[in-house]
Structures are given as structure tokens and as C-alpha cells.
């Protein structure tokens, strides 16, 4: 199989975003040869159950997946297809250890072995989780281990265990979107403070890709709604801005078993958002952080990073309220992934001031200055 992403992905991504700049981004970054080995910044879908689903994920731009499948034989089939598609997997090791697949599994394309879901919800003692982690490490010492907590504070109890911490937080429609950022910030802080042997422990964020009406609720009538494109895009970039070094979307199928890729409007949301993140992957994986320009409104949040001679900024309004946006402060920065390439056109001034809507995200690139001799 070719190591290049299909031309159709690049074409569709450029056409959907409508930006000439994206022609360059898609050609130079998104359509470059796929990196070998473990991805430095995973972008994954939760709940994969069948090998034939992996080609669809690859087409959409994902570089990995999570599965709840416990059967070692089924995991072996998923692993074989993942190898073929150039994807990595996150899976439970419990039934694999000691099985007929125990030796072969150590060569599967594993992103990490998945230890447990939300140990705090059933009051698992940290020592018990450490025993699970040690068992997996003794069996497969060369692979990462990971587990997910349901809130950032739990990481202060479990954060010294495993190689990677994950947090799942699903606010739509019950909580404010910015609550996700607080949880990612908490788990990032816990990762630094609780593991003295791994001060640079990665944090992965698990984001909402489902309707709460798929689950039982105490509310009567129940409340739900699938997150909109704007909400999913905001949660994605908020997680990155708060320190997430990997993104997972929960989950592929709804309560009736219908996959997202059979729901075109919803699937297009993930194609677009994953396409954006894929275009930024080199900077997200190894970019160097630097301070944002002075003069931005206090209610805005900005994260800047440089990579390969290019400078990027993620600019968010992490609240529901409109915030002033001084476009002069952003002189020399151009928006990516937008229908319009000028900030003044994106946010027309009223009463002499531009304003950034609530829960809005901008991804900006610093214009290069060329000197000719």
C-alpha cells in the first residue's frame, strides 16, 4: 500500500475549506509521506469493532483507534488490518496475556495498552491499578500503558501510574464547553506533579462524539443533542491549548449501532476537524512554544508554537460572551481553515470594534517576510 495519503482526501479537504493557503498546507503537510512508527500526536476514534472500519478512518485522516474488543483473535485481525492501513491501536491487554496470541501481540502496532476506564468511579485503589500496570509491563516492557479518568482531580490519585494519562469529559449539553479546558488543565498539572520519573508524561483528551440521549438519564424528560461542528472544533482546540498531546473522539457508533460514517453531516465534521489537526501535526508534535503578541483582550486565550520555520497561533474565546478582538494586534497573522482570509472580513467592526464570538476558534499563521538580494 502507498505510504501517501490518497489524493482525494487532499482535494476534498482543500475544496471544503475554500482557502488558497490550504492548497499549500495540504500539499506540503497533510499529503506528505506518513511518518513511520508511533505517531507523536495521536488523533483517534473510540469504539472500533471491525477491521473493515479502519480503511474509513484512514481516509478521514485518523492515525489510530481504540477498541473495546476483548477477544485476542479479533484483536489479531484488527492489528493485521491496522498494520496494512498504517494505523496504531489502543486495546485492553487482559485476555491477550497468556493466550495463544501473547507472543505475536508484542509485535502488533500498539499505540498503548489500555489498562482501565475511570478507576475512580469504582474506587479502585491506586495500588491495584499499579499491579495491573506492572503485569502488562512485565509482559510487554517495550510498549506504553495508558488509562482514562473521568475528571482531572482523579489524576492526582493515579497520576504516577502508567506512561500516559487520559481524561474523558463530555459537556454537551449539560455543562459549559469551557469546563473541558478545566479538566485538561487539571490532568496536565497532575501529570507533572505525581510522576517524578516522567515529568513530561503525555496527556490525551477524549472528546464527545455522541448524543447523551443514547444513555440513561435521571432527568425527566432527558436532555441531549449531538455536538455541532463548532462545538467539536472548539473542544478540539481547547484541549490542545490546555496541554493535550493526543485527541480521541468517543465514539464511532450510536446506541443503535449506526456508525458516524453512515451519517454524512456528522462524519464531515470529523473529516474537517481531523483534517485541520493533521495539517498542523508537525507543529503539534514537536513545535516550540513562544509568547503570544501583547495586547490581546484578557478574555481571549492564545497558544503559539513554531515548527520548521513557520509560526502558528491557536486563538480561542473560551466563554459564551463576545470578546473584543483588536485586529491591529494580529497584524501579520493570517487565518487558516476559514472561508475568508482577512480578519477584518471575518469579524467586521461594529461601533469601531471587532468582536470574537463565544466559543470561537482561530488558527493563525504568521506571514513570512522574504528578503531578496
209-218 pLDDT per residue, tens: 999 999 999 8
249-287 pLDDT per residue, tens: 999 999 999 999 999 999 999 999 999 999 999 999 999
Q: Average pLDDT, stretch 358-373?
A: 81
Hey, which residues does 44 pair with through a beta bridge? 64, 248
161-198 pLDDT per residue, tens: 999 999 999 999 999 999 999 999 999 999 999 998 88
Superfamily of domain 289-366: Golgi alpha-mannosidase II (2.60.40.1180)
Q: Which residues contact 313 (CB under 8 A, 6 or more apart)?
A: 292, 302, 303, 304, 333, 362, 363, 364, 365, 366
Res 367: pLDDT: 86
Q: Where are the domains of the chain?
A: 7-286, 289-366
Looking at domain 7-286, its CATH architecture is Alpha-Beta Barrel (3.20)
135-161 pLDDT per residue, tens: 999 999 999 999 999 999 999 999 999
40, 286 Cβ separation under 8 angstroms: yes
Percent of the chain with pLDDT over 70: 88
pTM of the model: 0.89
Q: How confident is the model at residue 297 (pLDDT cuts 50, 70, 90)?
A: very high
Q: How confident is the model at residue 368 (pLDDT cuts 50, 70, 90)?
A: confident
d(CA 349, CA 224): 35
96-125 pLDDT per residue, tens: 999 999 999 999 999 999 999 999 999 999
Amino acid at each position: 500500500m502507498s505510504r501517501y495519503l490518497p489524493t482525494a482526501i487532499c482535494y476534498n479537504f482543500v475544496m471544503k475549506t475554500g482557502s488558497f493557503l490550504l492548497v499549500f498546507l495540504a500539499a506540503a503537510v497533510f499529503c506528505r509521506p506518513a511518518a513511520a512508527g508511533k505517531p507523536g500526536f495521536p488523533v483517534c476514534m473510540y469504539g472500533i469493532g471491525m477491521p473493515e472500519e479502519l480503511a474509513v478512518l484512514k481516509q478521514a485522516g485518523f492515525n489510530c483507534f481504540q477498541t473495546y474488543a476483548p477477544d485476542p483473535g479479533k484483536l489479531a485481525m484488527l492489528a493485521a488490518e491496522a498494520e496494512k492501513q498504517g494505523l496504531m491501536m489502543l486495546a485492553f491487554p487482559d485476555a491477550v496475556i497468556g493466550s495463544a496470541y501473547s507472543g505475536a501481540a508484542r509485535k502488533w502496532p500498539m499505540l498503548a495498552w489500555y489498562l482501565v476506564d475511570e478507576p475512580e468511579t469504582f474506587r479502585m485503589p491506586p495500588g491495584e491499578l499499579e499491579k495491573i500496570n506492572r503485569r502488562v509491563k512485565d509482559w510487554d516492557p517495550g510498549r506504553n500503558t495508558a488509562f482514562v479518568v473521568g475528571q482531572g482531580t482523579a489524576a492526582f490519585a493515579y497520576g504516577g501510574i502508567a506512561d500516559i494519562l487520559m481524561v474523558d469529559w463530555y459537556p454537551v449539553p449539560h455543562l459549559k464547553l469551557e469546563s473541558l479546558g478545566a479538566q485538561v488543565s487539571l490532568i496536565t498539572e497532575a501529570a507533572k506533579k505525581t510522576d517524578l520519573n516522567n515529568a513530561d508524561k503525555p496527556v490525551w483528551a477524549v472528546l464527545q462524539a455522541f448524543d447523551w440521549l443514547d444513555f440513561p438519564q435521571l432527568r425527566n424528560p432527558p436532555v441531549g443533542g449531538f455536538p455541532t461542528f463548532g462545538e467539536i472544533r472548539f473542544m478540539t482546540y481547547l484541549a490542545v491549548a490546555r496541554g493535550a498531546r493526543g485527541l480521541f473522539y468517543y465514539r464511532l457508533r450510536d446506541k443503535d449501532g449506526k456508525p458516524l460514517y453512515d451519517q454524512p453531516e456528522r462524519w464531515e465534521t470529523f473529516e474537517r476537524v481531523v483534517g485541520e489537526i493533521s495539517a498542523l501535526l508537525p507543529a503539534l508534535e514537536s513545535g516550540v512554544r513562544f509568547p503570544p503578541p501583547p495586547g490581546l483582550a484578557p478574555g481571549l486565550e492564545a497558544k503559539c508554537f513554531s515548527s520548521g520555520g513557520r509560526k502558528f497561533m491557536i486563538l480561542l474565546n473560551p466563554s459564551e460572551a463576545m470578546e473584543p478582538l483588536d485586529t491591529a494586534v494580529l497584524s501579520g497573522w493570517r487565518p487558516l481553515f476559514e472561508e475568508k482570509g482577512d480578519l477584518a472580513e471575518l469579524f467586521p467592526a461594529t461601533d469601531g470594534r471587532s468582536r470574537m464570538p463565544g466559543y470561537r476558534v482561530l488558527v493563525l499563521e504568521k506571514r513570512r517576510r522574504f528578503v531578496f538580494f
